Amino acid sequence: MADNSSLTFPALAPQLTSKKVRDFLAFFGPGAIIASVTIGSGETVWASRSGAIFGYGMFWAFSLFTITKIVQVYSAARYMTLTGEHPMDRWAVLPGPRGLFPWFVGLVMVVSFPFYLSSLPIMLGTITSWVLFENPAAYPHVIALLFIVLLIALTLLQSYGLLEKAQTILVSSMLVVMLVATVAASPDWSAALMGAVVPSLPAYPDWVARNPLFADRTLIVEMVAYMGVMGGGVQDYVGYVGMLREKGWGMIGRRKDVDTDAPVPLATDDENVALGLAWLKAPLIDSVVSFISVLLFTAAFLILGATLLHPNEIVPSGMDLYNHQVVFLTGLHESSWVQRFLGGLYKAGVFFAIFGTVYGAFELYVRTAHECVRSARPEWSELSLERTRVWTLTYTAIAGGALVCVAWWTALNDPAGIGWNPISMMTIPLHVTGVFLAGPWCFAMVWIDRKWLPKPFRMGPFLVWMNVICGLVFTLFGARAVYDDILALM
């Protein structure tokens, strides 16, 4: 390896020169984790909810969100692969006080983690109560607290390799289960296809507008929630890029004494440029396969919602987030054996989705916290991941557990038995971390690309403009949703 005055890339991994799909999929690793973490909360609830409310009317938006999230994630993974630096390292030297952006992102993440890591376990408690007791409101909060303890223990003990393998298996299992369930529902495929590609301006149906749970929930708040939850947000992506340190693609793990005040010293001879750009196939494969998987799950749950819930005027809300779909799915068939099979299949798929989400989220958020903290101050750059893991898990266990107890208390004091439910809890940080912060992320990626990378390695005009457009969309829609959130609290 050359020294830092003239960095050259290592030999290309042989799988990247192969034309076999199996070899390409060898680079689907961190993407499996990000997919599994976002599928449980995004697709099983919100995509199904979109289909229940709007039918196929918002399908096109989810297709569009997939593209915007690929741009956001791939741009960061691209930079990491070419430089061996996490983008957060360079964002620390954005114009203004040093470390301001990592400090700001880190603060928002610290506040948001407990909301996600309490609402997600409650979702897992809900589905477990439904599977075991046929009642989603039976013991969801108690089960949520037990799962928090179990999953934190697993996170402390597991290795990254085990997590990656487990999440890859979970994603594959979930995909098979949900595609079978979707085909069994016999949807209107032509309407689904048109909804996926033809934009339309949705509106709340009258029966939704009359629902008390939507009294203060504007259309923009609902739509931007879909944008934020689809494929995850900044709280996920900072950690995802950090996980690339485990892969050793391109320049990752091959630099020492990184100077974030100087341009990245990559050798610009033709051979090194070609080699570096060839390494970009690895993060591209991981990002694209990850979000295609997310889109397939989105399509499955949205179609189930549009086919089975929308005609019956039922919206997944409160603590009833999953059970309606299986009732209508089994009702499509007369055979009791087929009904039991489809019911069990659906329950298994949803359980795997939620479990995979919570299982991966703890480790992913540890990585997010680590990257934010280590880049905030130069003297913290050598902070160990294990030290961050202990502090992050301790904090999320206490704060997340406390929010579960608060939600439990509000449910006990709510005549309807709903109280502070996963949807309302997740919406609090979702518009900020999932959408609004994604705008500065895209703009910051363009800045570090143009300022610190040698010209031959910079993003092409198409990717630059995609980042600019996505950044504007994320910022404007996120700001509007946050504004509506504030108005609803007044």
pLDDT at residue 171 in the model:
64
pLDDT at residue 151 in the model:
87
Contacts of residue 226, Cβ cutoff 8 Å, sequence gap at least 6: 46, 47, 50, 58, 61, 62, 65
Name residue 163's beta-bridge partners. none
320 SS3 class: strand
DSSP string for residues in 390-421 = HHHHHHHHHHHHHHHHHHHHHHHTSTTS--S-
Paired tokens of 8: 């050259």
Task: For residue 363, tell me if it sits in a domain.
Answer: yes
Q: Which residues of 61-76 are buried (b: 16+ CB within 10 A; e: fewer)?
A: bbbbbbebbbbbbbbb
Is 141:408 a contact under the CB 8 Å cutoff? yes
Structural domain boundaries, residue 34: 14-489
Determine the Cα–Cα distance for residues 76 and 141; give it in Å rounded to an integer. 37
Instruction: Output the CA–CA distances (angstroms, integers) from residue 46 to 51, 65, 105, in the order listed.
Output: 9, 13, 25
Contacts of residue 175, Cβ cutoff 8 Å, sequence gap at least 6: 293, 296, 297
Q: At what angle do helices 100-133 and 385-412 cross, to 10 degrees?
A: 50
Task: For residue 396, tell me if it sits in a domain.
Answer: yes
405-414 own/partner pairs: CB under 8 Å, 24+ apart = 405/141, 405/145, 407/118, 407/122, 407/141, 408/141, 411/137, 411/141, 411/319
pLDDT at residue 2 in the model:
41
pTM assigned to the model: 0.86
Is 251:9 a contact under the CB 8 Å cutoff? yes
Which segments within 42-199 are labelled E, that is strand?
A: none
Paired tokens of 464: 């630059």
Determine the Cα–Cα distance for residues 478 and 227; give it in Å rounded to an integer. 9
Task: For residue 3, tell me if it sits in a domain.
Answer: no
Is 392:366 a contact under the CB 8 Å cutoff? yes
Task: For residue 5, tell me if it sits in a domain.
Answer: no
Nearest CA-CA partner of 233 in 41, 353, 69, 472: 69
pLDDT at residue 280 in the model:
95
DSSP string for residues in 343-398 = HHHHHHHHHHHHHHHHHHHHHHHHHHHHHHHHHHSGGGTT--HHHHHHHHHHHHHH
Residue 64 phi, psi dihedral angles, 5° rounding: -70, -40
- DSSP summary character for residue 95: S
pLDDT at residue 419 in the model:
66
Task: For residue 27, tell me if it sits in a domain.
Answer: yes
Per-residue pLDDT of the chain (490 residues; tens, 9 = 90+): 344 458 899 999 888 887 776 767 677 667 667 776 766 666 677 888 899 999 999 999 888 888 999 999 999 999 999 999 999 999 999 998 888 999 999 899 889 999 988 988 888 888 888 888 877 777 889 999 999 999 888 888 766 666 667 666 766 776 777 777 788 778 899 999 999 988 888 889 998 888 877 777 778 888 888 888 888 889 889 999 998 988 889 999 888 777 888 899 999 999 999 999 999 999 999 999 888 888 888 888 899 889 888 888 888 776 666 666 666 566 656 677 777 777 777 777 677 777 777 877 888 899 999 999 999 888 888 888 888 999 999 999 999 999 999 988 988 887 665 667 787 788 778 889 989 999 999 999 999 999 999 999 999 999 999 999 999 999 998 998 888 878 776 6
pLDDT at residue 135 in the model:
77
pLDDT at residue 1 in the model:
39
- DSSP summary character for residue 262: S
Task: For residue 319, tell me if it sits in a domain.
Answer: yes
Determine the Cα–Cα distance for residues 485 and 490; give it in Å rounded to an integer. 9
- DSSP summary character for residue 317: B
Task: For residue 180, tell me if it sits in a domain.
Answer: yes
Which residue is listed with tokens 């919570």? 358
Determine the Cα–Cα distance for residues 91 and 271; give it in Å rounded to an integer. 29
Determine the Cα–Cα distance for residues 279 and 260; give it in Å rounded to an integer. 22
pLDDT at residue 304 in the model:
84
Task: For residue 1, tell me if it sits in a domain.
Answer: no
Q: Residue 177 belongs to a domain with what CATH number?
A: 1.20.1740.10
For the chain, the domain total comes to 1
Nearest CA-CA partner of 443 in 107, 101, 111, 112: 101
Determine the Cα–Cα distance for residues 122 and 112; give it in Å rounded to an integer. 16
Size of the chain in residues: 490
Query: Could you report how far apart the first and last alpha carbons of the chain are, in Å?
Result: 60
Identify the burial level of 460 via C-beta atoms within 10 angstroms of its C-beta, where 0-12 means exposed, 13-18 middle and 19 or more buried.
Answer: exposed
Is 400:101 a contact under the CB 8 Å cutoff? no
Determine the Cα–Cα distance for residues 480 and 191; give it in Å rounded to an integer. 31
